[in-house]
Structure 1
Amino acid sequence: MAAGFKIAEPLEYHMSFLKDNCRPDGRELSEFRTTTLNIGSISTADGSALVKLGSTTIICGIKAELTNPTVEAPGKGILCPMLTCPLSAPLDFDLAPQESRPSCQPFIVDVIESSEMIKPEDLCIDRGKLCWVLYCDIMCLDYDGNILDACIIALLAALKNTRLPKVTINKVTCKPEVDLKERHELHYTNIQSAPLFLSLRTPS
């Protein structure tokens, strides 16, 4: 009954709780969602993390691959976040248009790049020839609001969990040699500049 009321009359549904100074999940209006974090959730990834922010559940897996730097940025590596949402956990575009996938993805990229926690230069191995590209696959497993907060937390935790194999350039063949047994953490240029994301909404 309550689920049907929420879908049919979302404004009235939420207003009925606001009158009692509480939220539908029982929290007070000023109370944050309970947050849990699991590091290293995907054993096959180079780095991963799973975040639960209330009922919103986000998992992020990072896969590192060697590639050629772009012509425009020969001394930089590439960070490539991608947000996906399976049919079993669809985003409600009517209730949260600002949290739709087309809006989220460039925002996530901008937050990470502008924070300068990880500089693209640190992902470059051989200027103009070889660099790392980090594919950051972010998946929404369950959606109940505040998806941007959860995505940023999951991505940052996964990046901190990422271990890259040692790569050297063979002086004879000029080809890269990858040592999977020796791995190192990502270099954080300024760990204190890691973004802290918080969504707030003011009454209209």
Structure 2
Amino acid sequence: METTDSNLLSLASGELLKKFDPQKYFDQFLSEGVYPDGRPVSQFRESNVKTSVDRESDGSSYVQQGGACVSCTVNLSVAISSSEPGVLFTIESLGSVSEDLITDAQNFLDRLLSKNVFFDISQLDAGHNLRWTLHLKIMVLSSDGFIMDALLTAVNAAFMDTKFPSVFYPEITEEDATIDLSKVKINREKISRLTLKDTPVYSVYVLYNSWNAADVDECIVLCDPNKEICELTQNRCEIIIGKNDLIYEMSYAGKSALTETILSEIMICAKRRYGKISEGLNKIRAR
């Protein structure tokens, strides 16, 4: 009974410290290289990825990464070939998700799509001077500091799940001045899938200054921190990496110096993260 009372008292003291002095509460764990739940600071939380979750769409996915949950659906439409973007997207969210997070995610995804990093756009050719347009609807259901990790994984998984039906169009005669889209016939019994060039992976790192550090400039690199820990420091590095260690995006904001040693540590973690996510996605596709 005394042990139980002691544990309850210790738990209550910890919760009070977390509430009134979160810096001191988290520091006792982070300075030892772990999060309060025992996860090493160099380790990402597990990702839960599901595909074909929406039978009404041509492709769909659901991803839970830590406290972030994101769904993505893909719907196809046929249009006359043009130079217009082949992928259009919208990002919506529940009220609890910050508008700043949504805006940042829109900018990240827009830049990646403009670079055609996911697949060769020639695959959108439907023949007969027609082409497919992919309409992505992304819903951010919850967040825990960041959403781009879960969001980008959801987009990759939805692309992998997208099914292209075959297209039939009557032979064009000399009398046909323009293509009549009403004559397009879609056969969903015969489908094909996208071949992805890459599955870019996002990861975020926070540079944390521990109270116990001998050097005030000494930083601990935190992988995949939650919202509470993110609020303790503004030093953060975001990176989107692809195969062959190709860096698509990288940014850093904060007062602490991003030294060569810290950058090297971040790159090692980012490469490891890419390998794990891309391997997991390929296993899902192979099912």
Does TM-score exceed 0.5, indicating one fold? yes
Normalization by structure 1: what TM-score?
0.76
Q: CA deviation at 1:107?
A: 0.9
RMSD: 2.9
The structure-2 alpha-carbon separation of the partners of 1:146 and 1:25, relative to structure 1 and needing over 3 Å to count, comes to farther
The structure-2 alpha-carbon separation of the partners of 1:130 and 1:27, relative to structure 1 and needing over 3 Å to count, comes to same
d(CA) in 1 for partners of 2:140, 2:37: 20
Q: Corresponding residue for 1:103?
A: 104
Query: How many residues are aligned here?
Result: 187
d(CA) in 2 for partners of 1:150, 1:38: 12
Q: Corresponding residue for 1:84?
A: 92
d(CA) in 1 for partners of 2:26, 2:62: 29
- What are the within-5 Å matches in structure 2 for residues 21-100 of structure 1? 21-70=33-82, 73=83, 78-87=86-95, 90-92=96-98, 97=100, 100=101
SS at match of 2:34: coil
> 2:126 matched to 1:125?
yes
The structure-2 alpha-carbon separation of the partners of 1:24 and 1:184, relative to structure 1 and needing over 3 Å to count, comes to same
Q: Corresponding residue for 2:199?
A: 194
Q: Rg bigger for which structure?
A: 2
Amino acid paired to 1:91 = V
Gaps of 5+ in 1: none
Normalization by structure 2: what TM-score?
0.56
d(CA) in 2 for partners of 1:200, 1:46: 34
Contact 2:68 2:142 in 1 (8 A): yes
SS at match of 1:43: coil
> 2:185 matched to 1:177?
yes
Q: CA deviation at 1:31?
A: 1.8
d(CA) in 2 for partners of 1:158, 1:114: 18
Structure with the larger helix share: 2
Amino acid paired to 2:194 = L
Q: CA deviation at 1:30?
A: 1.4
d(CA) in 1 for partners of 2:85, 2:168: 16
Q: CA deviation at 1:12?
A: 6.4
> 2:160 matched to 1:160?
yes
Q: CA deviation at 1:115?
A: 5.4
Contact 1:77 1:123 in 2 (8 A): no
Q: Corresponding residue for 1:18?
A: 30
d(CA) in 2 for partners of 1:92, 1:15: 26
Amino acid paired to 1:199 = V
Contact 2:127 2:167 in 1 (8 A): no
d(CA) in 2 for partners of 1:45, 1:92: 27
d(CA) in 2 for partners of 1:13, 1:136: 41
Q: CA deviation at 1:168?
A: 2.1
Bigger relative contact order (CA 8 A; separation at least 6): 1
d(CA) in 2 for partners of 1:82, 1:111: 14
d(CA) in 1 for partners of 2:134, 2:86: 6
SS at match of 1:197: strand
SS at match of 1:101: helix
